Amino acid sequence: MTGAPKLEPALFNLAATLTTRLAADGGEFHGPSMDEFFPEILFSVLGIPVHRIHLVQFLSVIAVVLVLWLGTRRMRVVPGRFQSLVEMGLGFVRNGIAHDLLGRKDGDRFLPILTTIFFMVLFMNITGIIPFLNIAGTSIAAVPLLLAVVSYVTFIYAGIRRHGFRFFKNSLMPQGVPGFALPIVAVIELVSTFVLRPVTLMLRLLMNMVVGHMLLVLCFAATQFFFFTAGGGWIALGVPTLAFGGAFTVFEILVAVLQAYVFTILTAVYIQLAVAEEH
Amino acid sequence: MDATTVLADINGHIATIGYGLAAIGPAIGVGIVVGKTIEGVARQPELAGRLQVLMWIGIAFTEALAFVGIAVGFIPFS
């Protein structure tokens, strides 16, 4: 057994090299954390701190203004490619959401706010998969919160405008509920209509974007780790994580469009419920 | 090792378990919503557009619970 003493240091050396390799330049695997959504502050404007995600939000606002302005600046009867794309988006909100759920008259009344919500959410979501931006503008609480408050105020305004103070009575005490159950139903309706609606609107959008970003970071951070830090046989594991990352990127496009649609359609549904006639 | 010691030994990111539990209900719910929509479309294909809109609304309400489940994991408890 003369080989054993030689083999042991060799093995030890290998283990040591592997460990140092794994530990080199922060070579341990770094998973995503919530710190992603609280990046360092770049500069302040009038005492208001601005960071990376704010810049992404500014960029997407500029993008949506430019796209809608350029798309509808010189309208032609026979639309070009770009104009027909913008028309498709605007027509989708008008026909697919506003007229479909609210009817022609009410739909046109609330069309501006529904269109604004749809395009704002869509453009802020889609930055999550655009290279070098890579974070959704809606992935910090401010934007979903603002939009949820806008939606909340809109449906309460719509209800008061149509029914006056009866709106609150209608929404808290539905017709046909027996007297003894009325207090319980009123409390449930109060919580679900006036508390849970805006909260879930905000959480749905925010968490979709947060979770989507986390998944993408997890996949691509793992790929980077396997390819460049771990090296060797680990590269084989990096291939599926890269494939998963690609698949999730496509999935995120779907989620971005879907969440814009869902946010808009829920606002329309809340308005519809507020203006509905009680029978 | 009795139950209390085992419980005391559990540490780390327990919120993930909570999210797993919170996702069960919405998962079943979304499954039912989509399944019933498919049944409805199979019976009356001409209603597909209307049913799809209702399906998305139903999914949005149901999956909100899962997102509440994610959110409570980040609430700091002392």
Domain ranges of chain A: 48-275
- How much is the pLDDT for B10? 67
Residue pair A150/A254 in contact (Cβ under 8 Å)? The answer is no
How far is the CA of A87 from the CAs of A10, A163, B49, in angstroms? 69, 34, 20
Please say if the pLDDT value at position A179 is more than 90.
no
**Residue B52 counted as domain residue:** yes
> Which residues in chain A are contacts of B56 at CB distance < 8 A?
258, 261-262, 265
From the candidates B47, B52, B65, B68, which should be mutated to test the interface with A, based on the most A CB atoms within 10 A?
B68
pLDDT at A24: 44
Contact B56 A261 (CB under 8 A): yes
**Closest listed residue to residue A211, CA positions, set B73, B70, B59:** B70
Instruction: Answer whether A28's CB lies under 8 Å from A22's CB.
Output: yes
Question: Distance between CA A52 and CA A36 in Å, rounded?
Answer: 10
Angle between helices B48-72 and B15-43 in degrees, nearest 10: 170
| Partner B, chain A 224-253, Cβ-Cβ below 8 Å | none
Interval A29-38 mean pLDDT: 81
pLDDT at A232: 80
Contact between B67 and A101 using a beta-carbon 8 Å cutoff: no
Structure tokens at A110: 């609330």
CB A248 within 8 A of CB A216: yes
B35: in domain: yes
Confidence at A9, pLDDT banded by 50, 70, 90: low
- Provide the domain count of chain B: 1
Q: Is A34 on the interface with B (CB under 8 A)?
A: yes
For residue B24, the enclosing domain spans 13-71
Comparing CA positions, the residue from A139, A156, A161 lying closest to residue A60 is: A139
- pLDDT band at A69, cuts 50/70/90? very high
Give the pLDDT band of residue B67 (cuts 50, 70, 90): confident
Kindly tell me if the per-residue pLDDT of B21 is higher than 50: yes
Q: Do B53 and A100 touch (CB under 8 A)?
A: yes
Are A86 and A68 in contact by the 8 Å Cβ rule? The answer is yes
% pLDDT > 70, chain A: 90
Average pLDDT rounded to a whole number, residues A248-264: 93
pLDDT higher at A261 or A276: A261
User: Three-class SS of residue A74?
Assistant: coil
**How far is it, in rounded angstroms, from Cα B13 to Cα A20?**
27
Q: Is residue B2 part of a domain?
A: no
| Weakest-pLDDT range from A23-32, A37-46, A217-226 | A23-32
Q: Which of A139, A200, A213, A259 to mutate to test the interface with B (most CBs of B within 10 A)?
A: A200
Lowest-confidence segment of A56-70, B1-15, B34-48, B55-69 by average pLDDT? B1-15
A214 touches B at CB < 8 Å: no
Residues A172 and A191: their CA atoms lie apart, in Å, by: 10
Nearest CA distance, B73 vs chain A (angstrom): 12
Which candidate from B53, B57, B67 shows the least CB-CB separation from A203? B67
Q: Are A127 and A254 in contact (CB under 8 A)?
A: no
> Do B56 and A34 make contact, defined as CB atoms within 8 angstroms?
no
CA distance B4 to chain A (A): 31
Distance CA A229, CA A25 (A): 9
The answer to whether residue B51 sits within a structural domain is yes
- B33 part of a folded domain: yes
The answer to the question of residue B8 being in a domain is: no
**Prediction ipTM score:** 0.76
**pLDDT for residue A1 is more than 60:** no
Q: Report the alpha-carbon distance of residue A23 to residue A17 in Å, rounded.
A: 10
Residue B1 inside a domain? The answer is no
Evaluate if residue A23 carries a pLDDT over 60.
Answer: no
Confidence check: pLDDT of A172 > 70: yes
Q: Is the pLDDT of residue A244 over 80?
A: yes
CB < 8 Å to A101, chain B:
53
pLDDT grade for A279, boundaries at 50, 70 and 90: low
In the prediction, which pLDDT does B64 show? 85
State the pLDDT at residue A268.
95
Measured CB to CB, residues of chain B less than 8 Å from chain A are: 53, 56-57, 59-61, 63-64, 67-68, 70-71, 74
Averaged over A165-180, what is the pLDDT? 85
CATH number at residue B53: 1.20.20.10
pLDDT tens for A193-209 read 999 999 999 999 999 99
For B22-33, write each residue's pLDDT tens digit.
Answer: 899 999 999 999
Put simply, the answer to whether B70 touches A210 (Cβ < 8 Å) is yes
Question: What is the per-residue pLDDT for A30?
Answer: 75
Q: Do A204 and B57 touch (CB under 8 A)?
A: no
Q: Does A223 touch chain B (CB under 8 A)?
A: no
Chain B residue nearest residue A211, CA to CA: B70
The reply to whether residue A203 touches residue B68, judged by beta carbons under 8 angstroms, is yes
Mind telling me how many Å the CA of A275 is from chain B's nearest CA? 18
Check residues B36 and B61 and name the one with the higher pLDDT: B36
Distances (CA, A) of B62 to A83, A187, A257, B29, B65: 36, 21, 19, 6, 6
Task: Assess whether pLDDT exceeds 80 at residue A31.
Answer: no
Out of B56, B57, B71, whose CB is closest to A203?
A: B71
